Amino acid sequence: MSQTPALRAVLAVASECAPLIKTGGLADVVGALPGALASQGWAIRTLLPGYRRVLAALGKPRVVRELPSLLGSKARVLAANVDGLDMLVLDAPDLFDRDGTPYLDANGNDWRDNDLRFAALSQAAALIAKDGIGDWTPEIVHLHDWQAGLTPVYMSELGATQPTLLTIHNIAFHGLTGYNRMRALALPPSGFHPDGFEYYGHISALKAGLTGAWAITTVSPTYAQELTTEEFGLGLEGVIRARAAQMTGILNGIDTDQWTPTSDPAIVPFSTPRGKVANTVALRAEFGLAPSDGPLAAVVSRLSDQKGLDLLLGALPALLDGGGQLVLLGSGDRRMENDWLNAAAAHPGQVAVRIGYDETLSHRIYAGADAILVPSRFEPCGLTQMYGLRYGAVPVVARTGGLADTVINANAAALAAGCATGIVHAPKSIAALAHALTHLCRLWHDRPAFQRLQRNAMKHPVGWEASAPLYAALYGQLAAAHPESS
């Protein structure tokens, strides 16, 4: 009788992971990868900071390692299984037991010790790589963004030799801190140089990962190309170009078990565009919008300049003049929050805004909206447009990053060929976005054409079926290149 082969071990290191703690798409990806990779022969344990909300979700965890002095803080590593995820949690009260978000205090300012907090996470990861947890030792260490970027430095100092993979979810955040923090972070002076973690006289945790990891991925093929340019590389394009041979763009996916319109408990289930109607009626009622002979567009987003929502304010008349309406759910920049609240006050019955984030409400928005708007100035991958595709909310997106990789523009040729799934606009300007919104309204009034667009969107693959094998193959290549590989 044949036995099922044992899964090979991966340690993932991240600052957030859904469903335990989430501020954006990073958490969704970190939470989805273990399930996606298990079918490919790899078992991921995820190391996460012990924020209050995370500790509350663990139930009765096991203490698997005591760390009496982790960069000056008393800590321990807890193990638990949460919603099928194998979690390792760094319980360090001095660093993580506090109000606010993972990165910001209650006033919306960065925690002043963020460098120390995530350096401790990275050092804990290096210790786990070196010594393992019981009889479990990772074969690969997979790092996510700058918060895990110092891990290769600490691994080198400890003599941990496993291959490391860094995934860039957003290069805009470098994890910068001053040179005067070298001793507090226990960083070796030998690494402070242009080919190491030095960045214009500062320490860059992200650059440490970019120069120290065995391989690099980012979350879409187009973003991988964009990062080699000055416009998108944000000061690290030279490092990216130097490591181009070790870099791959692998498109994110979404958890299609959690995002399925035929069985989503938050909505009236549907399987066709016509089946969305009950959700559209309910969404208008929930947001206080009157019935309208035009498309109901939606935004579910962090409110920031990156997301292009200031451009959408400028282009809003094109949507409203075409008979459209808009619902917006999001939070972020206080100035932008106020601008959107003012827009709602200026257009009662046409624009409705909810400041904050509500996961369940977001499901209702995708189910009820005719279109989802993502006018980002840059977007490494984006999951919003994928949720829109899945729920028949036609994506209207900027031609950048993963948006360009996931949406087929409804130009004349694609409409004639029957393959269009959304509307793609460029350049990233008010005029281009306004033209796209006008196109949306015109398409919406051609009901057969618009429903074909929705059906195409709902059939478009958005899960991990294509990307999981790419990660698995990369893990395998890294493991095979390890001198201690069997």
Q: Which segments are annotated as binding site for ADP-alpha-D-glucose?
A: 22
> What's the DSSP call for residue 276?
G
Kindly tell me the burial class for residue 288, based on how many C-beta atoms sit within 10 Å of its own C-beta (0-12, 13-18, 19 or more). Answer: exposed
**Euclidean distance between CA atoms 134 and 340, whole angstroms:** 52
**Euclidean distance between CA atoms 90 and 66, whole angstroms:** 10
84 close to 109: Cβ distance less than 8 angstroms = no
> 182: helix, coil or strand?
coil
- Whether omega for the bond prior to residue 189 falls within 30 degrees of 0, making it cis, is no
Beta strands 73-82 and 85-91 are antiparallel
Q: What is the token pair recorded at 374?
A: 């993502």
**Euclidean distance between CA atoms 281 and 364, whole angstroms:** 11
CA angle, residues 431, 435, 437, in degrees to nearest 5: 115
Instruction: List binding-site positions.
Output: 22
326 close to 351: Cβ distance less than 8 angstroms = yes
**Euclidean distance between CA atoms 441 and 411, whole angstroms:** 14
For residue 410, which of 379, 432, 443, 384 has the smallest C-alpha distance?
443
**Euclidean distance between CA atoms 39 and 45, whole angstroms:** 15
Beta strands 247-249 and 296-303 are unpaired
19 close to 29: Cβ distance less than 8 angstroms = no
For residue 54, which of 28, 25, 15 has the smallest C-alpha distance?
15
Give me the amino acid identity at 404. Answer: A
361 close to 262: Cβ distance less than 8 angstroms = no
**Euclidean distance between CA atoms 423 and 411, whole angstroms:** 8
> 423: which strand partners?
396
> What's the DSSP call for residue 338?
H
